[in-house]
């Protein structure tokens, strides 16, 4: 997935699994405003992608690779 659309995949996962931005922020132990910034910028920092995979139980390719 292109860097300009990184947040899209995460938002799809959150919606499909009935989870909120607050839920993912709590699991990652970051402030929910950080997630809001990612959404505004349509970017997820590279160093957080593996952590997101871990807390969501998905693999990297499912969330971040182009289909």
Cα 22 to Cα 28: distance, rounded to the nearest angstrom: 10
pLDDT of amino acid 66 = 59
Q: Cα(15)–Cα(56) distance, rounded to whole angstroms? A: 12
How is the chain split into domains, by residue range? 3-64
pLDDT at residue 4 in the model: 55
- Count of beta carbons in the 10 Å neighbourhood of residue 21: 17
Please state which architecture CATH assigns to domain 3-64. Orthogonal Bundle (1.10)
Mean pLDDT is lowest, of 31-35, 43-47, 51-55, 62-66, for 62-66
For tokens 């182009």, name the residue. 66
For the chain, give the mean pLDDT. Answer: 89
């Amino acid at each position: 997935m292109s860097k300009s659309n990184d947040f899209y995949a995460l938002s799809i996962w959150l919606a499909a699994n009935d989870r909120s931005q607050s839920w993912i922020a709590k699991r990652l132990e970051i402030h929910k405003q950080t997630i809001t910034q990612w959404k505004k910028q349509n970017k997820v920092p590279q160093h957080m992608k593996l952590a997101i995979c871990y807390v969501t139980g998905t693999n990297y390719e499912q969330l971040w690779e182009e289909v």
